[in-house]
Amino acid sequence: MSQHQPDDHHEHDEHDHDHEHEREAGLKGWLLSLLRPHEHGHYATALDPAMSNARSAARGIWAVKVSLIALLATALFQVIVVAISSSVALLADTIHNFSDALTAIPLWIAFTLARRPRNDRYSYGYGRAEDLAGVLIVVMIFLTAVEVFRQSIDRIAHPQPIANLGWVAAAAIIGFLGNEAVAIFRTRVGREIGSAALVADGLHARTDGFTSLGVLVGVIGVAIGFPLADPLIGFVIGLAILVVVWNAAREMWYRLMDAVDPAVGRSIVETTQCVPGVQAVHDVTVRWLGHRQWTELNIDVAADLSVVQSHQIAEAVRHDLFHALPALVEVTVHVDPHGDEYHDATAHHRRN
């Protein structure tokens, strides 16, 4: 089967793929929505049907470049303020910003690899490199939390006065604005191209924004005569980072274990059943490779059809699925004649 190239002239009705989710109400729901991925596990609602794998990879690289420049500029400004203030909370935030900027490197490499064509050794292509980059990002986020906790404990054990509180407050505000802008940008592009790794990296940037606000709270605490506010805010920052680690790690676990939103499988079955000539659909499997999906399925057709007629039905299934689920880049359809008697030779090999 050849790799699917989306049709530029086909308009995709996104309402067919909107997966509605229950959301917590009020402030709690808003905070949780900021710290965890938007639960569109298949990302099909945001994918542009006209966007090829190469174009989506190029868009991912562009997003990585822009966010890298923005985060490095923010972190470098914060380094200067850390040097003149000795704020452990701002130091923790700065370390987090640098680690966030550095996560752009594995993502850049992964998106570059994703543009390479399949070959005899990598017969599925290089899309899995993107998922591996996502794992590396999760590890880096976790190590950031460990360093934040270490710095906070050290500052409680060895208190130091904080100078230039005004500059620390300014750095915190700039850090929040810069990181939130990068977070919105990364997650939006990540969902457009279906990249769990880029979405995870966007969440990483969002935690940096919250840690910057934490720094501002610490400055206020120190200013009103509570010097332990600075290292205590460091602990709060560390806990916020761990929340993001948990959610991002869960998403990457799903990708590496070939887990998908069950709605994807149901959509494949429903779309296939609507194709004239299909009498049954079974053995549907779906997997993510980077930001694109592959699926395999079996269909039953009338046993008296010719090979050409059966093939035409299979092609109709592939065509409808490509348009119904724009994240799909490959669809393999196995055609079975309807009736159990045609499967006796391999019946004892079938999975339960």
Domains of the chain, each with CATH number or no CATH: 51-256 (1.20.1510), 262-349 (3.30.70.1350)
The answer to whether the beta carbons of residues 227 and 92 sit under 8 Å apart is: no
Per-residue confidence band for 29, with pLDDT thresholds at 50, 70 and 90: low
Any idea which residue has 């990296």 for tokens? 201
Cα torsion 189, 194, 195, 198: sign: positive
Per residue in 184-241, pLDDT tens?
888 888 888 777 778 877 877 777 777 777 778 877 887 888 877 777 877 877 787 7
Dmax (CA) for the chain in angstroms is 87
Query: What pLDDT is recorded for position 345?
Result: 67
At what angle are helices 26-35 and 229-256 packed, to 10 degrees? 70
Per-residue confidence band for 141, with pLDDT thresholds at 50, 70 and 90: confident
DSSP 34-82: HHS--S-TT-TTT--TT--HHHHHHHHHHHHHHHHHHHHHHHHHHHHHH
Query: What pLDDT is recorded for position 83?
Result: 80
Residue 98: closest CA among 133, 58, 148, 150? 148
Q: What's the full length of the chain, in residues?
A: 352
Q: Is 235 helix (H, G, I), strand (E, B) or coil?
A: helix
Query: What pLDDT is recorded for position 136?
Result: 85
Rounded to whole angstroms, the Cα distance separating 7 from 5 reads 7
Any idea which residue has 């998403």 for tokens? 251
Query: What pLDDT is recorded for position 46?
Result: 35
Per-residue confidence band for 304, with pLDDT thresholds at 50, 70 and 90: very high
The answer to whether the beta carbons of residues 321 and 272 sit under 8 Å apart is: yes
Between the CA of residue 136 and those of 107, 179, 246, what are the distances in Å? Answer: 9, 20, 14
Query: What pLDDT is recorded for position 9?
Result: 39
Percent of the chain residues past pLDDT 90, beyond the cut: 19
Rounded to whole angstroms, the Cα distance separating 52 from 4 reads 9
Q: What is the mean pLDDT of the chain?
A: 77
Query: What pLDDT is recorded for position 340?
Result: 66
Rounded to whole angstroms, the Cα distance separating 33 from 149 reads 25
pTM of the model: 0.63
Which tokens belong to 206?
A: 């969002």
Cα torsion 134, 138, 139, 141: sign: positive
Which one-letter amino acid corresponds to residue 114? Answer: A
Rounded to whole angstroms, the Cα distance separating 264 from 268 reads 6
Q: Is the pLDDT of residue 39 over 70?
A: no
Rounded to whole angstroms, the Cα distance separating 125 from 228 reads 52
